Amino acid sequence: MPEKVYEFIYDEYGNTKEIKVNARGTAVQANKYTNKGTTFSEEERKNLEIEGLLPPAIRTMESQVKNNIQIFNNKESDIEKFIYIRSLFDRNVTLAHALIASDIEKIMRIIYTPTVGLACQRYSSMFRMANGLHFYPGNIDRAEDILRQYGHRDIRVAVVTDNQGILGIGDQGAGGIAICLGKLMLYTQGAGIAPWHCLPVSLDVGTDNRKLLNDDNYLGWRHSRLKGKDYVEFIQRFARAFKIVYPNALCQWEDFSKQNAFAIRDAYLHDLISFNDDIQGTGAVTLAAVLTAMKIKKEQLKDQVFLIHGAGAGGVGIAEQIETVLVEDGLLLDEARKRIFTLDSRGIVATNRKLEPYKKKFAKDPAAFPWLGDQENNALLQGIRKARITVLIGTSGQTGCFTEEVVRAMLANTERPVILPLSNPTEMAEAQPVDIYRQSKNRALVATGSPFSPVTVDEREVRIGQCNNVFVFPGVGLGVLASGARQVLPSFFTAAAHAVSNQISEEDIDNGILMPPVDRLREISLQVACAVAKAALKEKVSGLCVYSTYQHDNNPDRIEILIERMRWSPRYLPVSPA
């Protein structure tokens, strides 16, 4: 197949309006971006020389989607459904996205959390077709040349992982790229960033997972993980190459482990247009739930006291985002931090012990909180009582640690405690929502990280809001690209959180629901993108949108038009010979 089978033709908003192909015959059908299956028109079949290669009947996309839904629903297991969608994506990307969009709430659980975790673990054994790029010590010196191979696709967003911190399952080596593939599908579903503009990247620096290293089928670089100077140099080589080849593209760091996640995010804050979703996306979506809770409680954020159980990347990211909004609301930095407690496996994080650098910001001085000197008071339950916690957030992965005693302790501090068991996957949640409602006599305000079934509250069925990062990162990405922002600021995530919270209906607020439904993802992503772009204008970090000839000229109204019209949707485009 020629190196460049296709060329995208854009309208003034940077949205693809047509695909020109240099190939003919089976090469057109074999490419996932140009293939339409049985939907090619008679004229296209003739012009592209695929007459006779297809049955005579021409199906509509609606008919194709209906047919594929039936096949999808007949698959017995979630992993079989995952494989089916990935296979469809590999042969007809537009149809795959139309299928996903037909029931985003249901299918998102297959292409992303929780099924994608299993896909990471089985990546090597069920490998079918390469997607994205794999850098390892044997090719990192040629990173620029390898990245340039994708230049014809006008890459706008890359999701990049070193595969070490896969949520709930840890180091998965080369299999971590499945997370990037899933995230980028959601960029397309939510933000409308066309799939050809998306690039998944695995930075394969080895693995310390002995099971993988001993597996004959393992496809990754079969060595222990690079560490120290060697690891840093590897990341630097990739970042330098990415900036040279795609200077205007957004780089989302994904599933790096704790300290590496913070170090890499901070190192490239000004050098790349980048952010870390595990830190900042998690912080923003959690803040959105808390902001909604304040509307229900009719209280102010600055009057709350927060405890985050789990001081990893997600937990500290939440703490950072809460700190950011408290300062934006008028508190001094020290005042804001005094209201935010973090807790790890050794108890409430305090300055009187050796700490990883990323934990130090929210460590408490026992001189200011004398009760921390007593080891017993360092634990979760006593910490809630002593600090008078009103918002409890779980990112620990410790199943069931939000016990009835914990819920009752929260009730003693506030009439309507906010309790968010956010750990993924479902079986690792700190508590079951139904138990929290029962133990709090339906007074707690609850959202989770994983999807849960509705519960009955006061004889009515109540949906459990899900703090899913998907409400944030697609819109942040689109807002950054449309505004031409040269860096991703903390205020962007505050804006995103407010935009998500503002999408909660009055009916849901009356029922104590903290997050919008997933089936409104595309609409919510649009609102997040507009909020982020306007934040970029306000912070004076916006520039020209390099993907569009329609320029916003720093006009908020024009930038909204640009954002809405630059979004791709899964419909077949005209395909014609070059």
Is residue 71's pLDDT more than 70? yes
Q: pLDDT per residue over 306-359, tens digit each?
A: 999 999 999 999 999 999 999 999 999 999 999 999 999 999 999 999 999 999
The Cα–Cα gap between 144 and 245 comes to 7
Asked if 472 contacts 284 with a C-beta cutoff of 8 angstroms, the reply is yes
Q: Angle 252-564-188 (CA atoms, 0-180°, nearest 5)?
A: 40
The amino acid at residue 243 is K
Angstrom distance (rounded) from CA 443 to CA 463: 15
With a pLDDT cut of 90, the percent of the chain lying above it is: 91
Percentages helix, strand, coil for the chain (3-state, rounded to 5) are 50, 10, 40
Residue 470 exposed, middle or buried by CB count within 10 Å (0-12, 13-18, 19+): buried
Residues noted as catalytic:
112, 183
Q: Report d(CA 273, CA 493) in Å as an integer.
A: 14
CB neighbour burial string for 349-375, b if at least 16 within 10 angstroms, e if fewer? bbeeeebeebbebbbbeeeebeebeee
- All structural domains of the chain, each given as residue ranges with its CATH number in brackets, are 60-256 (3.40.50.10380), 280-470 (3.40.50.720)
CA–CA gap between residue 567 and residue 178 (Å, rounded) = 24
Distance CA 431, CA 405 (A): 12
Rg (CA), the chain: 24
- The answer to whether the beta carbons of residues 475 and 499 sit under 8 Å apart is yes
- In the DSSP assignment, the letter for residue 340 is E
Answer whether the bond into residue 195 is a cis peptide, omega within 30°.
no
Q: Can you give the three-state secondary structure of 377-400, one letter per residue? A: HHCHHHHHHHHCCCEEEECCCCCC
Q: How would you label 100-121 residue by residue, b for 16+ Cβ within 10 Å and e otherwise? A: bbbebeebbbbbbbbbbbbbbb
Owner of token pair 């996957």: 425
Average pLDDT over residues 181-185: 97
pTM of the model: 0.95
Task: Look over the chain and give the mean of its residue pLDDT values, rounded to a whole number.
Answer: 95
Residue pair 205/225 in contact (Cβ under 8 Å)? The answer is: yes
Neighbour-count burial for 224-249, b at 16+ CB within 10 Å, e otherwise: ebbeeeebeebbebbbebbbebbebb
Kindly compute the dihedral angle of the four CA atoms of residues 136, 138, 143, 149, in this order, to the nearest 10 degrees: -100
If you average pLDDT over residues 479-496, what whole number do you get? 97
Note the pLDDT of residue 1. Answer: 35
pLDDT at residue 35 above 60?
yes
Residue 2, pLDDT score: 38
pLDDT the model gives residue 373: 81
Sign (positive or negative) of CA dihedral 441, 447, 449, 450 = positive
Question: Which pLDDT score is estimated for 442?
Answer: 95
Residue found under tokens 């249901």: 106
- Beta carbons of 162 and 259 less than 8 angstroms apart: no
Distances (CA, A) of 416 to 248, 333, 347, 470: 45, 27, 25, 27
pLDDT, tens only, 208-256: 999 999 999 999 999 999 999 999 999 999 999 999 999 999 999 999 9
> In the 3-class helix/strand/coil scheme, how is 519-534 assigned residue by residue?
HHHHHHHHHHHHHHHH
| pLDDT tier, 3 (very low <50, low <70, confident <90, very high otherwise) | low
Kindly report the length of the chain: 578
User: 503 pLDDT exceeds 70?
Assistant: yes
